[in-house]
Structure 1
Amino acid sequence: MNSKSILVIDDNPDIGTALSVLCTLANIQCTSVLSPAEGLEKLKQQSFDLVIQDMNFSSDMTSGDEGIALFHQIREIVSDIPIIVITAWTNLETAVDLVRCGFADYLAKPWDDDKMLNSINNLLELGELSNAQRKSASKRQTRINALNEKFDLCDMQFQSDEMLSLLELTTKVAHADVPVLITGPNGAGKEKIAQIIQRNSSVAEGPFVKVNVGALPKDLMEAELFGAEAGAFTGATKTRIGRFERANGGTLFLDEIGNLSLDGQAKLLRVLETGELERIGGCETINVNVRVVSATNADLPQAIIDGDFREDLFYRLNVIELELMPLNQRQDDIVPLANFFLQQSHTLTVAAVEKLNQYHWPGNVRELQNIIKRAMLISDGSVIDAKDIDVKVVDKMQSKSIVEPDLQTINETLQAHNGVVSAAAKQLGLSRSALYRRMKKFGIESNH
């Protein structure tokens, strides 16, 4: 018999019987009770791995208030047990709200047996966290809380060790008056990192001026950055104030810096070294005090070899480099980001979460935001299921990128990284929790 056990709390005895039969066939122990009071007493007497509860227990009740109260009472007894809510009242908005707040899943009566078993098994598997992982998660959350209390993180949503380490470094250098270069793929969130630097810098009260160098026509790029006097070129009928002047006393964020022309690079280098610039067509020297933060998805060292980027400018911009990893290398950030994009109007089922975690995300955070927007538009109601995720794109990418590691591969990868699970997970393309589940499956002990 499976050592896992679930508790069903529902006033309809037929519900308890049906779930008991379903769980027995799946080799899962199931105990059912008919009232919240009985359920709470059972939870005090013995340990369960999962609770399935109704939302209404009195014949004249449809508000869900009884289920809400039971949810919070269960949490007082067992703070981390997953809870599935089942109800015939599928339009119950308060129940949907609770999914966001803590319910693990939300299923309508009558349920589909396959969907119910899939939800139960997923939640039981997710619950198999080792003590080492729990301790690691606790330490990580303590660091995250400390970071949020001390700094303005601009609503950054994250849970991964990779992003936590990056943000700790970001906030550490934010107050220093040195140029920062943010590297990483398109759509990964480089502008958000720049915002965090600005918000926590010594010039936080000054202007924050953003310019996408890659989006500027080359013949207008220098005028945009450094300004131009009236008559400096055709169409320049009045003096143009450049972005550097506008950012004086604050921060200038130069995105896609690798696209800047060589002439523009020379002028940028002069401003960085002297704090002085001249508008195009002008002879007046203008002094500016600007904190420059730049970003690129290009390989600047290779661009230097190719003669497309100045080496001296690279080292001037790259006093501090912040490397932003692609989303598929920080998978623990996927669900927090997805929930943030849902804008508290929708919630994800366990199957939807699994689908999101399996996708390779070549378009990074920007792609995730677009897919969540699409899912919100096509979903039936406020709950987003796996079918609402862009299945064709997901399946296509999965066939190229998802390979299930075997026992030997996991052991060899762990040995290569001295047993550090987070590092091994990154190499295998898995989240830490996904690797821990596979280690549990193969009986591999973790020392980290």
Structure 2
Amino acid sequence: MPTILVIDDNPAVATALEMLFSLQEIDTLRAESPLAGLEALRRHDIDLVIQDMNFHADTTSGEEGVALFHDIRARHPDLPVVLLTAWTHLESAIDLVKAGAADYLAKPWDDRRLLATVNNLLELAETRRELAQRDAGERERRDALLRDYDLRGIIYADAASENTLALACQVAHAEIPVLITGPNGAGKEKYAEIIHANSKVSGGPFVALNCGALPGELIEAELFGAEAGAYTGAGKSREGKFEAADGGTLFLDEIGTLPQAGQVKLLRVLETGRFQRLGGNRERTVKVRIVSATNANLRALIAEGQFREDLYYRLNGIEVRLPPLAQRTRDILPLARHFLPPGVRLSAGAERLLLRHPWPGNVRELRNTMQRAALLARGDTVSEADLGLPAAEGAAAGPAVAEPDRAAIEHALERHGGVLAQAAADLGLSRQALYRRLERLGIRRD
């Protein structure tokens, strides 16, 4: 049950508020002086403070209330404070709202408005506690991953990325093949490097081959090597990727493009560990950890007869799925800042635009966007126009500013610790307008 502290020298005020809040199942504590209020805050867990602006009958300046607010803010910077004020103190109350007070209400107050304000603030306080607990849990998991594994400098902040990363690290030490799935540009090779770095063969080579980047007739030679004269232009013998990766990891990207002949030979190597170079007769033996990746639906390719089902099950000892960047929006800004040169920052408008963009090209598109923006930026700040994204291109023609979407609102709330006034200013909205959007989108006040 939430608890509100009422600091007012008039016992009738505290009694009236106590009766009002009891109907909402809210506990109320009272204090009749600033010192008593600060002591109550020290001794009790308080969710919200309602404070008067004057505490002596012969005082009307509001200075006592201003001093009390700043004392509370210094000791409890995140605690919401609502001011009760007479009309003569309105200017002081407005100044305190600018300084971080949650709201102000004139005496005599309107019960419905007061309850709406209090319930909103209590919901916000509860959500902030949940966020703090979530963040603490995330920090603990992140610290554990950093302590226990080599993450190869990966940049992430989203829980979806953390879950995927934890799975990749967990399976790395096993000797089974790993299939990494996900859209183009999502970072599949980075995850393959992490799996290798934390595997039993981390001391061996990490060799990568993009199966989709080579003509079909050269795939076998790339995988297994070729003897001199095996094909036109093969003037001397050369080793393939399997030999190069012996004792380490072979990463096969775009495995779904491997031609049928290559699939048959790859399956044999996975089953026996033996192969022959193209144009050769001598069998060679290797011990290689296989990590493969695809953006294709291999099951659909199997149904169409384009991919061998037995090879699929050989490659898919365990699957690590990488979500697209649009599904891990908390990664966007840390990655964007990482791709910028040192000393270059993002404007608030650029951050909002980055969060609104769907990123069909995923991390690769984001990296290219930031590299281009850094070249176009004037000075040390990247603006919306520098990004070259669709919304920025239209902005020069003079249309209305795009409505902030759910992701932009949630990130603004997170950046400002759930303080609605600051988040609203960041989004270019009034606090009331932000309230309406929170209700319309069903966003809890976090």
What TM-score does the superposition give when structure 1 sets the normalisation length? 0.63
Equivalent pairs counted in the alignment come to 310
Distance 1:195 1:369 in 2: 19
1:353 shift after superposition? 1.1
Q: How does 1:345-356 map to 2 (within 5 A)?
A: 345-356=343-354
1:430 shift after superposition? 7.8
Alignment-derived partner of residue 380 in structure 2: 382
Structure showing greater Rg: 2
Q: How does 1:9-48 map to 2 (within 5 A)?
A: 45-47=71-73
Aligned AA for 1:229?
A: E
Pair 313,205 (structure 1): closer, same or farther in 2 beyond 3 Å: same
Alignment-derived partner of residue 422 in structure 1: none
Q: How does 1:299-310 map to 2 (within 5 A)?
A: 299-310=297-308
Q: How does 1:11-410 map to 2 (within 5 A)?
A: 45-47=71-73, 130-392=128-390
Aligned AA for 1:130?
A: R
Pair 216,392 (structure 1): closer, same or farther in 2 beyond 3 Å: same
Do the aligned residues in 2 keep the contact of 1:232 with 1:281 (CA within 8 Å)?
A: yes
Q: SS of the counterpart of 2:337?
A: helix
Pair 432,162 (structure 1): closer, same or farther in 2 beyond 3 Å: farther
Distance 1:317 1:362 in 2: 27
Distance 2:154 2:409 in 1: 19
Aligned AA for 1:281?
A: G
Per-residue displacement from partner, 1:22-67 (whole Å, max 9, x unpaired)?
xxxxxxxxxxxxxxxxxxx99962429xxxxxxxxxxxxxxxxxxx
Do the aligned residues in 2 keep the contact of 1:228 with 1:280 (CA within 8 Å)?
A: yes
Per-residue displacement from partner, 1:109-140 (whole Å, max 9, x unpaired)?
xxxxxxxxxxxxxxxxxx98622122212211
Do the aligned residues in 1 keep the contact of 2:226 with 2:280 (CA within 8 Å)?
A: yes
Alignment-derived partner of residue 117 in structure 1: none
Aligned AA for 1:211?
A: L
- Structure 2 gap segments, 5+ residues each: 1-66, 80-123, 419-433
Distance 2:342 2:365 in 1: 19
Q: SS of the counterpart of 1:201?
A: coil
Q: SS of the counterpart of 2:237?
A: coil
Aligned AA for 1:290?
A: V
1:386 shift after superposition? 2.0
Aligned AA for 1:303?
A: L
Per-residue displacement from partner, 1:322-364 (whole Å, max 9, x unpaired)?
0000000000000110111113231112221111111110110
Do the aligned residues in 2 keep the contact of 1:229 with 1:281 (CA within 8 Å)?
A: yes
Alignment-derived partner of residue 441 in structure 1: 438
Distance 1:404 1:385 in 2: 17
Identity among equivalent pairs (%): 45
Q: SS of the counterpart of 2:73?
A: coil
Q: SS of the counterpart of 1:362?
A: coil
Distance 1:42 1:447 in 2: 26
Aligned AA for 1:197?
A: I
Distance 2:409 2:205 in 1: 38
Per-residue displacement from partner, 1:168-225 (whole Å, max 9, x unpaired)?
1100000111110000000010010001001111111100101111001111110010
Do the aligned residues in 1 keep the contact of 2:384 with 2:392 (CA within 8 Å)?
A: no
Alignment-derived partner of residue 35 in structure 2: none
Aligned AA for 1:181?
A: L
Do the aligned residues in 2 keep the contact of 1:332 with 1:431 (CA within 8 Å)?
A: no
| 4+ runs deviating over 4 angstroms | 41-44, 76-80, 393-396, 402-405, 428-440, 443-448
Distance 1:279 1:319 in 2: 26
1:155 shift after superposition? 1.0
Q: SS of the counterpart of 1:130?
A: helix
1:382 shift after superposition? 1.1
1:234 shift after superposition? 1.9
Distance 1:388 1:328 in 2: 21
Aligned AA for 1:148?
A: L
Pair 204,432 (structure 1): closer, same or farther in 2 beyond 3 Å: farther
Aligned AA for 2:373?
A: A
1:311 shift after superposition? 0.2
Pair 350,393 (structure 1): closer, same or farther in 2 beyond 3 Å: closer
CA RMSD of aligned residues (A): 3.3
Larger CA deviation: 227-236 vs 260-269:
227-236
Pair 44,148 (structure 1): closer, same or farther in 2 beyond 3 Å: farther
1:372 shift after superposition? 0.4
Q: SS of the counterpart of 1:238?
A: coil
- Structure 1 gap segments, 5+ residues each: 1-40, 49-75, 81-126, 406-427
Do the aligned residues in 1 keep the contact of 2:377 with 2:383 (CA within 8 Å)?
A: yes
Distance 1:354 1:380 in 2: 19
Distance 1:139 1:239 in 2: 55
Aligned AA for 2:439?
A: F
1:435 shift after superposition? 9.3
